[in-house]
Structure 1
Amino acid sequence: MGSLYQTNVSKSSTPNIIQDLKVIIHETTTILPPQETEKRSMFLSNIDQVLNFNVETVHFFVANPQFPPELVVEKLKMALSKALVPYDFLAGRLKLNPESQRFEFDCNGVGAQFVVGSSEFELGEIGDLVYPNPGFRQLVQKSYDEVDMQDRPLCILQLTSFKCGGFALGVATNHATFDGLSFKTFLENIASLAADKPLATVPCNDRHLLAARSPPQIKFDHPELLKIPTGIDLPNPTVFDCPEGQLDFKIFNLTSNDIAHLKKKAKDGPGSTNVKITGFNVVAAHVWRCKALSSGSDYDPERVSTVLYAVDIRSRLNLPLSLACNAVLSAYASARCKEIEEGPLLKLVEMVNEGTNRMTSEYAQSVIDWGQVNKGFPHGEFLISSWWRLGFADVAYPWGKPRYSCPVVYHRKDIILLFPDIVGASNNEVNVLVALPSKEMEKFEELFHKFMA
């Protein structure tokens, strides 16, 4: 049960990959909206406020003779330009309002960016696309860290062509712009505009729908949130708690049979018969158990482990599905290590399920109000970030659907990624990316297979 991509570079089973893709940048262009847009400041919710960092994704396409890369470049430039009217904030910049001390989008129309590059390799030569190749970082243009925040583009597209005619579309956006669902909608709109069609979905840009109540009403305890003491800056969310070079990383592949096995194991074990046993719930419970019991050098059965995972709150707050923003909050499950080790899988699944069910409309609004009163951010032992069913590879562009879509991975021991297998494989397969110090990784791997048995 549970196949494993061994991705510690010291292992002989490392996939054959090329880490230096030898990318040459040929052109960097500022893309402007085709018409003047209203100059305004856009309100950002308390959820958006703590997400001032870049999210980078790469979307790989095989060669299509009808759409050589140079034609795709022109169509994408046109599509992005048109998109900057309904998504006017993407042509703006992030700024800090000195009076409110809150981030806002300055919708000033100065533009997004488009980068054109090429690689010396063919797409088939760069190795397993599922493997989080460090070389993929060359396929996404970095935002300009050395440039003042108010001058950094919020959206950068990079098209990198390969010698075979295939290409990669790299997208870098500030996380304050989109969550996973609204980013997929943005990609669908880009695809539609590139095909000379109208928008697939007209975005709703009213982020006041996620404003705190006045006065704020914090009606629940929020152990999943950590307040920052006055006078201390909010930590940069991309900081590792140990240097990347000190982390091993591995991909644990769970097939549809593995997931069915975990579901059956939970269902047949002792505990409540009313628990919702979903693919995500059993995978999250299994990963939580392995992570909690592998953490640190000294096992403490009384230590409390807390796992965080995202819950979309659009339906809970009756928000439009087209809302372009971050409408996701961190649900949590907590238990002592002794319970996690000795309890049945179903109990852990139940706790994960309870975390999701806890996120009622009133609880979600209480979290938003908490953010109005306190300067802080989600806090737990680790976060499960699931890209498993976001469906980026389902987006139909004029030149076809992506062969694979994935985040550009920066390994952190406090984030475990779930992402889908390559197109054509079972939709139920999931890859679990884990980055840990060597000793913890050994323990995690041992537990991963032990609890799959």
Structure 2
Amino acid sequence: MTSNGNSLPIEKLEIRVQEPELVHPAEPVEHQVYYLSNLDQNIAVPMQTVWFFNGQEDKKDQDPAAVLKEALRKLLVHMFFLAGRIGLSPDYRLQIEFEDQGLVFVEAVAEKHCIAEFGDVSRPAPFMKQLVYEPPPSENILGSPPTFVQVTKFKCGGFALGLNNNHCTLDGLAAHEFICSWGKLARGLEITHSFSIDRSMLKPRSPLQPEFSHEEFYDLEDLSTTEDSFFSINPVHGSFEVNPRDMDALKKSILDEGEGVSKVTTFEALTAFTWRVRMNSLNLTPAQKTRVFFSVDVRKKLSPPLPEHFMGNGIVLTFATTTVGELCEKPLSFAVKLVQDAIAFVTDKYVRSAIDHFEATRARPALVASFVVTSWLRLPFHEADFGWGPAVAMSPASLPDQGVVLFISSGKDRKSATVILGLPTSSAMDKFGVELNKAHVN
């Protein structure tokens, strides 16, 4: 495993941003209140991502912003809720109030810069925040658009697409389909299937029937000291790449240990590995309970399964937990088994129970002494193509919070995995690197 650093040389761009405009569906759509499920309610946070596209000789006379805007108008006929506004129902639930207010679209020009000068743009860097439009700050999200789009053109003919989308509207799989469908329309192709945007199949039951304890909503006791704590105001970020050879070696070592593990996926191995190394780096007491959260796609786990081309949040949060002592002293296969058991625990009954539990409590996941793994390993965002060829790179626009670890595909043919994380102190990050070397993943 190798360190990649945490920033690129360019901190800030010279960029000219035009006034935002509103993009409306190409055809009339009935005004309505659009239902958001309980799987949407808990993740109403902005997701900011950037795609980079190289210039093409045969496209030098075409304006990418105009092409993307026209294709977006056509796509919004099917996904009109992205052009609405976030509202609150009488029973205090988030919803989308669609009166064709329009999706916010911004054009920008960075005429002194070329994509090639940015180096590796597959990882977040400070300048990327300028490629994503952010509205003026407000006290809450009510009344705000769920989606903002920025297209930034460079002097080389390439451009960047910055998407600032509230997670309550789309999960990763749905966002991938949104981007790829948008690209099809931009290339003059037709969408040959219908999108499933109705989320009513995820409504709570009546009467409510929560069947599980749902400990994900309850805090763990934090036994850390002020010197070795889980959180700080200014975390230190780092990124580490695992190439295919390293990953094969890691998986082999896990399987050789036994501990009830007969097979292991890349996600399971990386999650268990990062969990243990992260806890080791924090110098925590062995008695400290620790928990790792991650989302599970439930599209095919529900009975009946969610429809194909479901455009919403089809994920539920699950977790694995143990003490720091057990996690760090037992074989890594022990942690892998905890992760596998947490995934297997997510069934139709569990998901329905989670939906009902939120309806009864309106609780949010508790992150004390915990952290969240967000994996984009299986999301081929690079397939996005608006007529300028597939994206040369895609990246989150900013580094993750210190309570979040991000996995993204990287390297040649995207067969490597990059782990991006934040830790409370530089000494903790240094120790993280030492722990990686001790694990013999090199």
**Global fold match (TM > 0.5):** yes
State the Cα deviation string for residues 346-396 of structure 1 (Å, max 9, x = none): 111111111111101111111111111112122341001111221100233
Query: 2 CA distance for matches of 1:223 and 1:283?
Result: 24
Indicate conservation of the 8 Å contact 1:59/1:169, yes or no: yes
Q: Kindly state the Cα deviation for residue 148 of structure 1 after the two structures are TM-superposed.
A: 7.1
Cα 1:309–1:315 change in 2 (3 A) is same
State the Cα deviation string for residues 289-316 of structure 1 (Å, max 9, x = none): 0112223x5x311211110111001101
Residue equivalent to 1:373 = 360
1:406 and 2:395 are equivalent in the alignment: yes
Q: How high is the sequence identity, in percent, across the aligned residues?
A: 29
1:56 and 2:48 are equivalent in the alignment: yes
2:317 maps to amino acid? S
2:197 maps to amino acid? N
Query: 1 CA distance for matches of 2:335 and 2:11?
Result: 38
Residue equivalent to 1:397 = 386
Match of 1:118 among 109, 114, 119: 109
Indicate conservation of the 8 Å contact 2:146/2:166, yes or no: yes
Query: 2 CA distance for matches of 1:333 and 1:210?
Result: 25
Indicate conservation of the 8 Å contact 2:123/2:396, yes or no: no
Residue equivalent to 1:417 = 406
Indicate conservation of the 8 Å contact 2:68/2:386, yes or no: no
Query: 2 CA distance for matches of 1:209 and 1:138?
Result: 39
1:103 and 2:90 are equivalent in the alignment: no
Q: Kindly state the Cα deviation for residue 325 of structure 1 after the two structures are TM-superposed.
A: 0.9
Give the match's secondary structure for 2:358.
helix
1:157 maps to amino acid? V
Indicate conservation of the 8 Å contact 1:218/1:369, yes or no: yes
Q: Kindly state the Cα deviation for residue 200 of structure 1 after the two structures are TM-superposed.
A: 5.3
1:218 and 2:205 are equivalent in the alignment: no
Indicate conservation of the 8 Å contact 1:286/1:451, yes or no: no
Structure 2: unaligned runs, 5 residues or longer: 220-229
1:142 and 2:129 are equivalent in the alignment: no
Cα 1:186–1:108 change in 2 (3 A) is same
Matched residues, number: 425
Indicate conservation of the 8 Å contact 1:302/1:337, yes or no: yes
Indicate conservation of the 8 Å contact 2:64/2:159, yes or no: no
Residue equivalent to 1:232 = none
Residue equivalent to 1:283 = 270
State the Cα deviation string for residues 197-251 of structure 1 (Å, max 9, x = none): 2225422111111111111111112111249xxxxxxxxxxxx9533xx221111
2:356 maps to amino acid? D
Match of 1:208 among 200, 218, 242: 200
Cα 1:143–1:176 change in 2 (3 A) is farther
Residue equivalent to 1:75 = 67
Query: 1 CA distance for matches of 2:353 and 2:67?
Result: 44
Q: Kindly state the Cα deviation for residue 69 of structure 1 after the two structures are TM-superposed.
A: 7.9
CA RMSD of superposed structures (Å): 1.9
Indicate conservation of the 8 Å contact 1:309/1:385, yes or no: yes
Query: 2 CA distance for matches of 1:211 and 1:172?
Result: 27
Indicate conservation of the 8 Å contact 1:143/1:172, yes or no: no
Match of 1:312 among 297, 310, 314: 297
Residue equivalent to 1:160 = 152
Cα 1:102–1:402 change in 2 (3 A) is same
Cα 1:117–1:69 change in 2 (3 A) is farther
1:199 and 2:191 are equivalent in the alignment: yes
Cα 1:399–1:330 change in 2 (3 A) is same
2:114 maps to amino acid? E
Match of 2:418 among 431, 441, 444: 431
Indicate conservation of the 8 Å contact 2:106/2:149, yes or no: yes
Query: 2 CA distance for matches of 1:160 and 1:279?
Result: 35
Indicate conservation of the 8 Å contact 1:92/1:153, yes or no: yes
Residue equivalent to 1:5 = 4
Cα 1:91–1:170 change in 2 (3 A) is same
Q: Kindly state the Cα deviation for residue 130 of structure 1 after the two structures are TM-superposed.
A: 2.5
Indicate conservation of the 8 Å contact 2:187/2:386, yes or no: yes
1:242 and 2:232 are equivalent in the alignment: yes
Match of 1:444 among 426, 432, 435: 432
2:286 maps to amino acid? P
1:293 and 2:283 are equivalent in the alignment: no
Query: 1 CA distance for matches of 2:437 and 2:315?
Result: 32
Match of 1:331 among 318, 330, 334: 318
TM-score of the superposed pair, with normalisation by structure 2? 0.92
Residue equivalent to 1:256 = 244
2:184 maps to amino acid? S
Q: Kindly state the Cα deviation for residue 150 of structure 1 after the two structures are TM-superposed.
A: 4.3
Structure 1: unaligned runs, 5 residues or longer: 8-13, 228-239
